[in-house]
Amino acid sequence: GAVVSQHPSWVICKSGTSVKIECRSLDFQATTMFWYRQFPKQSLMLMATSNEGSKATYEQGVEKDKFLINHASLTLSTLTVTSAHPEDSSFYICSARDRLWASVYEQYFGPGTRLTVT
Amino acid sequence: DQQVKQNSPSLSVQEGRISILNCDYTNSMFDYFLWYKKYPAEGPTFLISISSIKDKNEDGRFTVFLNKSAKHLSLHIVPSQPGDSAVYFCAASSYSGGGADGLTFGKGTHLIIQP
């Protein structure tokens, strides 16, 4: 149980284009999902908290107009990187919290999406 | 300013011995701590957690110890197995009005189990 998927797992795009990354909880409902970013040999950094049916909450320093988050259902959140630039190249990982069973603190992570902007 | 610190980038342990991974934190608002295991190009896998009201939590070969006064926690793996080789992240969270916050991660410790 508690499986989170991400799609795509790997994407290359040209500078200036937009890319959408999907995060799905496959066997549980998630009222809250989180988006993280990891640069090579660095820690995972929280970008935003996504709550189903409401606007996402962004961490300080993360541009909300650049990283659009939509949490339209209890099993799906999407992150759209708009007008991507090479510095946006990173490993993007989502996580989800099981609203019924898990501790309010525990998060289950997706496998991540490697974004490369050329 | 890093709120969760893992000061050892790597740790090498012989198979069968105990692995001890350390983590320090600075934010006294953190009230829940988690350890994750991660392989390259994969998402973290949850290992074990501990609430700030406890000082120890055990699950099979994994034990987490919390010293609140020192703002220090450690993960013990015994006995260490080759499959334990991975990067281990310490993470912390706090509970705000709307629910538990997102996790704050340390930089990770690369554990290498040698045969």
DSSP state string for A52-109: TTS--EEPTT--TTTEEEEEEETTEEEEEE-S--GGG-EEEEEEEE-SSSS-SS--EE
Residue that wins the pLDDT comparison between B40 and A84: A84
Q: What is the pLDDT of residue B61?
A: 98
B22 contact A CB<8A: no
Phi and psi torsions of A86, nearest 5°: -55, -35
pLDDT tens digits for range B45-67 = 999 999 999 999 999 999 999 99
> How near does any CA of chain B get to the CA of A42, in Å?
6
Q: Give B37 or A71, the one with higher predicted confidence.
A: B37
Check residue A42 and give its pLDDT: 84
Could you give phi then psi for residue B54, rounded to 5 degrees? -115, 165
Contact: A43, B41; criterion CB under 8 Å: no
Asked if the C-beta of B107 comes within 8 angstroms of chain A's C-beta atoms, the answer is yes
Cα separations (Å) of A89 from A57, A92, B52, B87?
22, 9, 36, 21
Check if B40 contacts A (Cβ < 8 Å): no
For chain A, 118 residues long, the average pLDDT of each consecutive 10-residue run is: 90 96 92 90 90 87 93 92 95 87 76 95
Chain A nearest-CA distance from B33, in A, is 9
Contact present, A20 and A93 (Cβ < 8 Å): no
Q: Which of A97, A110, A114 sits opposite B41 (nearest CB)?
A: A114
Shortest Cα distance, chain B CAs vs residue A23, angstroms: 12
Tell me the CB-side half-sphere exposure of residue A87, using CA atoms within 13 A: 1
Interchain CB contact of A59 with B (< 8 Å): yes
CB distance from B5 to chain A under 8 Å? no
Question: What's the rounded Cα separation, in Å, for the pair B41 and A79?
Answer: 18
Q: What is the mean pLDDT of residues B94-102?
A: 72
The pLDDT value given to residue A1: 65
Q: Do B44 and A44 touch (CB under 8 A)?
A: yes
State the Cα–Cα distance between residues A73 and A2, nearest whole angstrom. Answer: 17
Distances in Å between the Cα of A75 and the Cα atoms of A8, A41, A51 are 16, 30, 11
pLDDT, residue B97, reads: 59
What are the CB-based long-range contacts (under 8 Å, 24+) for B24-28? Answer: B24/B70, B24/B71, B24/B72, B24/B73, B25/B71, B25/B72, B25/B73, B25/B92, B26/B1, B26/B2, B26/B71, B27/B3, B27/B92, B27/B94, B27/B104, B28/B71
Check CB contact of A91 with chain B, cutoff 8 Å: yes
Beta bridge partners of B96: B99
Residues of chain B in contact with residue A114, where contact means CB-CB under 8 angstroms, are 41
- Which residues 6+ apart lie within 8 Å of B59 measured at CB? B47, B48
CA distance B103 to B115: 34
* CB B98 within 8 Å of CB B75: no
Per CB-CB distance under 8 Å, the chain B contacts of A51 are: 98
Q: Which of A32, A95, A109 sits opposite B99 (nearest CB)?
A: A32
Distance in Å, alpha carbon of B95 to nearest chain A alpha carbon: 8
